[in-house]
Amino acid sequence: MKRALICGVTGQDGAYLAQFLLQKGYEVWGTSRDAHTASLSNLSALDVATQVELKSMAVNDFRSVLQVIAAAEPDEIYNLCGQTSVGLSFEQPVQTLESIGIANLYFLEAIRFLAKPVRYYNAGSSEMFGNCADQAANELSAFNPRSPYAVAKCTAFWQVANYREAYDLHACSGILFNHESPLRASRFVTQKVVQAACRIAAGSDEKLALGQMSIIRDWGWAPEYIEAMWRILQHDEPLDFVVATGQKNSLQDFVDKAFSSCDLDWREHVTFDEKFLRPTDLQVSVGDPTKIAKVLGWQATSTMKDVVENMVAFVRSSRMN
């Protein structure tokens, strides 16, 4: 039986990955800042909370990272922890760099120090590429980070590449473009849109305030992207991959689909608020998944419309129950 350690197991991706690996027959360990007070809502929603061995880990404390990895003795480590909000990274740049860049360095150093045959996955981000106005980003595209979050993710990516080359570690980065699900945190605009549309359809007279709606993103279905992470680590050669649908949709397209799925016209319920504008926002972010399809046989099957319909259906069924 393989053993996996998922750092950040209580988040959207961590919970889906725990479920996926358990179904594959893995023994799953997970970490949170404080295992005794951590919210297990995502794991509980997937009915796997009692099947995960949860441990406390302070990712900014090398001793803590080393102790957990030594105790777990994992075959695979998935680093999904750290600050996840681009907007918040402008307000907390130091914490963002520490929770992503420094934490990633601690993981790599711990693996090197323990000298065990561990396969390591680092969660990259489409934000690393900056604007993709000319063409979809692939593994050879230059990075152009436009936020503290993106800078931290670029730092972690190059750390992985350096340790892979210098110390022969089986370490990889998956550069995931936007991926959504019902487990997405409410602070993300996609969940904010879906929840508001469902409330308004149920009788709320509120208005949904949003920032720039012309931004273009590559939206996929989170449970599918989890399989891509796993496939990346199963490949004999440690490689980095872009994980995306390759399809472009604007935020307005997403909003339109969410409200139309609730039999509403978004124009009657959505307002603009400049407070939601970021200091530097990406106009276009789209990925080219050619390499992962060719090398690993992975391909996204859910479109943005599928994602929205699934999220809306989940919210409505939850309220009926």
Q: Which of 32, 99, 125, 173 is catalytic?
A: 125
What pLDDT is stored for residue 320 in this prediction?
60
Does the pLDDT at position 275 exceed 80?
Answer: no
pTM: predicted TM-score of the whole model, two decimal places = 0.94
d(CA 212, CA 218): 16
Q: Which of 149, 163, 180, 224 is catalytic?
A: 149
Give the number of C-alpha atoms closer than 13 A to the C-alpha of residue 52, restricted to the C-beta side: 33
Q: Which has the closest alpha carbon to 122: 108, 143, 142, 110?
A: 108
Identify whether 85 is a catalytic site residue: no
Query: What is the edge-to-edge ordering of all strands in the sheet holding 3-7?
Result: 52-56, 27-32, 3-7, 76-79, 119-125, 170-176, 241-243
Identify whether 206 is a catalytic site residue: no
Q: What is the pLDDT of residues 111-126, one digit of tens each?
A: 999 999 999 999 999 9
Q: β-strands 249-250, 216-217: how paired?
A: antiparallel
Q: What is the pLDDT of residues 239-267, one digit of tens each?
A: 999 999 999 999 999 999 999 999 999 99
Identify whether 127 is a catalytic site residue: yes
Stretch among 36-50, 218-232, 264-278 having the lowest mean pLDDT: 264-278
Q: What is the pLDDT of residues 60-111, one digit of tens each?
A: 999 999 999 999 999 999 999 988 888 888 899 999 999 999 999 999 999 9
Q: What is the pLDDT of residues 28-66, one digit of tens each?
A: 999 998 888 888 999 999 999 999 999 999 999 999 999
**How many Cβ atoms from other residues are within 10 Å of residue 151's Cβ?**
20
**How many Cβ atoms from other residues are within 10 Å of residue 226's Cβ?**
26
Q: Which CATH number applies to 185-217+247-286+296-320?
A: 3.90.25.10
Fold classification of 3-179+221-243 is Rossmann fold (3.40.50)
Diameter over CA atoms, the chain: 60
Q: Which of 76, 127, 180, 224 is catalytic?
A: 127
CA torsion through residues 108, 110, 112, 116, sign: negative
What are the sequence ranges of the domains in the chain? Answer: 3-179+221-243, 185-217+247-286+296-320
User: Which band of pLDDT confidence, cut at 50, 70 and 90, is reported for residue 279?
Assistant: low
Q: Which has the closest alpha carbon to 227: 299, 287, 178?
A: 299
